[in-house]
Amino acid sequence: MIVVMRHDAEQEQIEAIRHRLIDEGFQVHLSQGVERTIIGVIGENTERVFAVSSMAGVEQVVPVHRPYKLVSREFHPDDSIINIGKVPVGGKRVIVMAGPCAVESHDQVMQAAEVVQQLGLSVLRGGAYKPRTSPYSFQGMRVDGLKILAEARDRYGLMIITEAVDHESLQQVVEWADVVQIGARNMQNYELLKAVGQTEKPVLLKRGFASTIDEWLQAAEYIVAHGNPNVILCERGIRTYESKTRNTLDLSAIPVIKELSHLPVVIDPSHSTGHWNWVAPMARAAVAAGADGLIIEAHPNPAEALSDGPQSLSLPHLAELVHSLRALAEVVGRTL
């Protein structure tokens, strides 16, 4: 249920309704937009919420029939802008997060970070914990990797994003990183989502390999419902019958999410294509389709990468892509 307040509702009226609903045993979430305030109400027997429709300042009480409430466009009509430090995700700016799939060495990360900074980008990506399909594949440098990323942040003035794979790694990632990434394999790890919801860090939530958009949004709802509204959605390709690409990039998810939810949407053209020479076309297509950002794998020497070398851009290719994206963003009324 949502309680839509009148555009001229006073703060005292909003607080009176909020306190009444809390006293009734409901969870209450305020969404204060440009034009009006909306109060999201979660709990059992929400039919009782209709009783507040006669209170001062209320315009209407509206049922929300979707399984997700807080991430829905009904609850929050305006687009959300999630801040990574001073870097906004959403709005007019298209954000590019770039860097190696995995942290492999100090020199590798510093080379990538230097180029990311020189290109005018703000966020460095790199995996310290690597959930791999094969138990024999490189599993990441763990805390040592986080320390290298943190050093790159301090040296080059970048924000860092890295993946948490379980509760233990989440504690470390929250301590060292600026953004917590929840990978496709963990999209429906509900206990991990609840734990992320109890942090204040921005969260990049990747879509599962075979998850529907509704399932993806319900996963985001877990995080928001447990107290963390700072969720960025990431489409990284889904598994279909097509075998030429690593996954199938669902670009249609961008307008669909924009209609259903207020959360920003980022596209991962690296994991979706699996081939570096297809990354740039898909990245440009994503910006044209309205994506709020991109997360791209780039490596100083992709041929020697310990993880995802075939889909990683070289640093010169990353520079070429960023320059083309800047021109494209301007055409569609955005900046990069």
Instruction: Answer yes or no: are the C-beta atoms of 128 and 300 closer than 8 Å.
Output: no
- pLDDT per position as a tens digit, 75-115: 888 899 999 998 999 999 999 999 999 999 999 999 999 99
Rounded Cα distance between 218 and 188, Å, is 9
Residue-averaged pLDDT of the chain: 93
As a whole number, mean pLDDT of residues 39-44 equals: 84
What's the domain count of the chain?
Answer: 2
* pLDDT: which is higher, 301 or 133: 301
Joined together, the tokens standing for residue 100 give: 């190696």
Q: Are residues 7 and 94 in the same domain?
A: no
- Predicted pLDDT of residue 45: 77
In a domain, 73, yes or no: no
pLDDT for the residue 30: 84
pTM (two decimals): 0.90
CATH number of 278's domain: 3.20.20.70
Both 247 and 156 in a single domain? yes
Q: 134 and 248: one domain?
A: yes
180 shares its domain with 308? yes
The whole domain housing 53 covers: 2-62
Lowest mean per-residue pLDDT among 8-22, 95-109, 260-274, 320-334 = 8-22
Is residue 96 within 8 Å of 298, Cβ to Cβ? no
- Check residue 136 and give its pLDDT: 67
Position 24 in a domain: yes
| Residue 139 in this model has a pLDDT that exceeds 80 | no
Q: Is residue 302 part of a domain?
A: yes
Instruction: Quickly state the pLDDT bin for 137 (edges 50, 70, 90).
Output: confident
Residues 87 and 54 in one domain: no
Average pLDDT estimate for 269-275 = 96
Residue 143 has pLDDT above 70, yes or no: yes
**Mean pLDDT confidence for 162-179:** 96
Q: Do 305 and 261 lie in a common domain?
A: yes
Q: Would residue 69 count as lying in a domain?
A: no
The verdict on 160 and 208 lying in the same domain is: yes
Task: Note whether 177 and 321 are same-domain residues.
Answer: yes
194 has a pLDDT exceeding 80: yes
Whether 113 maps to a domain, the answer reads yes
Question: Are 106 and 232 found together in one domain?
Answer: yes
Are residues 142 and 49 part of one domain? no
Residue 71, domain member (yes or no): no
pLDDT tier for residue 284 given thresholds of 50, 70 and 90: very high
- Whether residues 218 and 256 share a domain: the answer is yes
HEC string for the chain:
CEEEECCCCCHHHHHHHHHHHHHCCCEEEEEECCCCEEEEEECCCHHHHHHHHHCCCEEEEECCCCCCCCCECCCCCCCCCEEECCEEEECCECEEEEECCECCCHHHHHHHHHHHHHCCCCEEECECCCCCCCCCCCCCCCHHHHHHHHHHHHHHCCEEEEECCCHHHHHHHHHHCCEEEECHHHCCCHHHHHHHHCCCCCEEEECCCCCCHHHHHHHHHHHHHCCCCCEEEEECCECCCCCCCCCECCCCHHHHHHHHECCCEEECHHHHHCCHHHHHHHHHHHHHHCCCEEEEEEECCHHHCCCCHHHCEEHHHHHHHHHHHHHHHHHCCCEC
What is the domain-level CATH number for residue 38?
3.30.70.1140
Residue 68 domain-assigned (yes or no): no
94 and 37 share a domain?
A: no
The answer to the question of residue 304 being in a domain is: yes
